[in-house]
Amino acid sequence: MGMEAEMSDPAEVFKDAMKLEVQDRAALAQKLLSSLEELTDEEAERLWAGEAQRRLEEYRAGRAKAVPAEEVVTKAERLFR
């Protein structure tokens, strides 16, 4: 019989990570961010689809507002000058 890896609760992992020294938290953050760069196309698409669904639900529930595309483009151009 093989032992299955126990999944940690993300909230508990975060709580534990916050107990680390700032340098260790920064190193952990970098490793986590780097791990996202290694996603397969299928994983990335699944995550973006989930995010899009979450945002749609927030909008429909009235917890998020729509922003006109022109406003988004103007802000992006200003940020990237």
Tokens linked to 7? 């999944």
Question: Domain ranges in the chain?
Answer: 11-79
Helix (H, G, I), strand (E, B) or coil at 19: coil
Residues 6+ apart with CB under 8 A from 25: 17, 18
For residue 51, what pLDDT is reported?
A: 96
For residue 37, what pLDDT is reported?
A: 86
For residue 58, what pLDDT is reported?
A: 96
For residue 68, what pLDDT is reported?
A: 95
Q: Which amino acid is present at 69?
A: A
pLDDT, tens digit, for every residue of 52-75?
Answer: 999 999 999 999 999 999 999 999
Segments of the chain with pLDDT less than 70: 1-6
The mean of the pLDDT values for the chain is 90
For residue 5, what pLDDT is reported?
A: 56
